[in-house]
């Protein structure tokens, strides 16, 4: 949350200010940390949800007299996001806007008003790399890039140029620097135009290594969004697990996974926190597994002491969110949704998925009292 100064920071040499890029390990620069009299602790809280998959049934319900308003569908998140410094979601369908003509599965184009609703809630980290990024071609991407360029959010995974793609966007919150990288396994067989690979990050291991190497030493916290895995299964596949370990070896702090449209476990791999799949945030997919998504949360803590700097993630959490189907597409916290059959049994069953790989992950506690 907000910046905490344990005691007033005094330097034996007046006027010393730490401004150099930071890394994750101690003693990171030429600055003599032994001159620091007292410890400084800074922290930020991160909130995460999954796929915004805007089927026709979703955006048609949001429409009234030609105007699209999604605020009622996502308003339950408002009081949650307000308590977090960073808030992430995956924009699964391209926000090309109504002028291009809206479309649903299998090649989506969605109203930009959905983005407005999420920005109004306070979401400020958005992945744009997924298997639907190329659905409506370069015209939809141009409209999307223009839209996101006007928002106060850090987006990643789809860009307007190589220059934009290769520029590490460093942001700061509560004295903690961070960035977001985003990747997808593919684009549903629609090729990314040769010479314009910046339009969508279709990952290779070499790409991941190069990008992460370029970003790692520039920030306290490196977040990587991965569109990966096998659809509709609660178990990460071998590719996911292999990539998760690679990302951990490369020094990524937080891996946020999506694409299966159902939830998958959360796991610490050494100091790297991996959410294999957050499932759907909102969609018109039916069947209980695809209607239950995950909310995730974690606290970033940076300590500056005489020994140097240390950045850790702690207090990893997961909880469930339920998207009602048929009469409305409002997102509701599962424990308060009284129309779901066998709610308590279902809640416990899906909470077990969250902790299946790592019982240190806390279930609940994301909605702050």
Q: Among positive and negative, which fits the CA dihedral 191, 197, 199, 201?
A: positive
Q: How confident is the model over 183-198, as a mean pLDDT?
A: 98
Is 16 contained in some domain?
Answer: no
Confidence of residue 35 (pLDDT cuts 50, 70, 90): low
List the one residue out of 3, 27, 25, 46 whose CA is nearest residue 300.
46
Is 368 contained in some domain?
Answer: no
Q: Which domain holds residue 116?
A: 33-363
Listed in order, strand segments (DSSP E) in the chain are 40-52, 63-64, 67-68, 86-90, 125-127, 154-156, 171-173, 176-184, 221-227, 254-258, 266-269, 272-275, 280-282, 292-305, 308-323, 331-333, 362-363
Strand partners, 303: 41, 310
Is 21 contained in some domain?
Answer: no
Alpha helices, H only, 150-199: 162-165
For the beta carbon of residue 127, count every other beta carbon within 10 angstroms: 30
- C-alpha–C-alpha distance, residues 323 and 308, integer Å: 45
Is 13 contained in some domain?
Answer: no
Compute the CA torsion angle 274, 253, 257, 46 (nearest 10 deg): 100
**Residue 74, helix vs strand vs coil:** helix
pLDDT for the residue numbered 168: 97
Q: Look at 161 and 29; give whichever has higher pLDDT.
A: 161
- C-alpha–C-alpha distance, residues 338 and 263, integer Å: 21
The token pair at 314 is: 């702690």
Q: How confident is the model over 293-311, as a mean pLDDT?
A: 90
Q: How confident is the model over 169-188, as a mean pLDDT?
A: 97
Q: Helices 205-216 and 238-249 meet at what angle, rounded to 10?
A: 30
Q: Look at 22 and 311; give whichever has higher pLDDT.
A: 311
Backbone angles phi, psi at 276, to 5 degrees: -65, -40
pLDDT for the residue numbered 268: 98
Is 253 contained in some domain?
Answer: yes
Listed in order, strand segments (DSSP E) in 259-341 are 266-269, 272-275, 280-282, 292-305, 308-323, 331-333
CATH number at residue 216: 3.60.21
**Phi-psi domain of 278 (left: phi exceeds 0; alpha: psi -120 through 50; beta: other):** alpha
Is 157 contained in some domain?
Answer: yes
With a cut of 60, say whether residue 359 has pLDDT above it: yes
pLDDT for the residue numbered 12: 30
With a cut of 50, say whether residue 177 has pLDDT above it: yes
Is 62 contained in some domain?
Answer: yes
The token pair at 337 is: 């949704």
Is 91 contained in some domain?
Answer: yes
With a cut of 90, say whether residue 341 has pLDDT above it: no
Please give the tally of structural domains in the chain: 1
Give residues with Cβ within 8 angstroms of 9, minimum separation 6: 36, 37, 38, 40, 304
The token pair at 72 is: 């009622």
With a cut of 80, say whether residue 129 has pLDDT above it: yes
With a cut of 60, say whether residue 31 has pLDDT above it: no
CA 187, distance to chain mean position in Å, is 19
Confidence of residue 39 (pLDDT cuts 50, 70, 90): confident
């Amino acid at each position: 949350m907000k910046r905490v100064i344990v005691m007033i920071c005094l330097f034996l040499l007046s006027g010393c200010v730490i401004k150099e890029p930071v890394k994750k390990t101690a003693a990171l620069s030429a600055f003599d940390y032994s001159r620091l009299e007292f410890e400084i602790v800074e922290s930020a809280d991160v909130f995460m949800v999954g796929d915004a998959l805007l089927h026709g049934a979703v955006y048609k319900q949001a429409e009234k007299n030609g105007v699209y308003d999604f605020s009622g569908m996502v308003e339950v998140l408002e009081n949650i996001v307000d308590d977090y410094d960073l808030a992430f979601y995956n924009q699964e369908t391209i926000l090309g806007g109504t002028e291009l003509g809206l479309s649903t599965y299998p090649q989506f184009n969605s109203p930009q008003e959905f983005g407005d609703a999420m920005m109004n809630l306070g979401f400020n980290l958005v992945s744009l790399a997924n298997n639907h990024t190329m659905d409506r071609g370069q015209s939809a991407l141009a409209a999307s890039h223009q839209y996101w360029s006007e928002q106060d959010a850090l987006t990643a995974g789809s860009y307007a140029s190589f220059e934009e793609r290769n520029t590490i966007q460093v942001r700061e919150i509560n004295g903690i620097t961070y960035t977001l990288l985003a990747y997808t396994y593919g684009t549903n067989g629609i090729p990314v135009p040769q010479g314009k690979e910046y339009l969508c990050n279709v990952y290779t291991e070499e790409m991941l290594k190069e990008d992460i190497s370029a970003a790692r030493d520039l920030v306290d916290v490196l977040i990587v969004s991965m569109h990966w895995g096998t659809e509709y299964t609660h178990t990460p596949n071998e590719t996911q697990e292999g990539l998760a370990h690679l990302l951990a070896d490369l020094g990524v702090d937080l891996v946020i996974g999506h694409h299966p449209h159902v939830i998958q476990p959360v796991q610490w791999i050494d100091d790297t926190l991996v959410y294999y799949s957050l499932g759907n945030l909102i969609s018109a997919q039916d069947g209980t597994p695809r209607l239950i998504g995950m909310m995730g949360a974690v606290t970033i803590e940076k300590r500056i002491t005489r020994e140097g700097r240390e950045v850790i993630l702690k207090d990893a959490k997961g909880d469930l969110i339920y998207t009602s189907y048929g009469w409305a597409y409002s997102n509701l916290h599962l424990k308060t949704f009284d129309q779901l059959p066998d709610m308590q049994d279902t809640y416990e069953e899906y909470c077990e998925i969250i902790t299946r790989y790592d019982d240190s992950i806390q279930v609940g506690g994301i909605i702050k009292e």
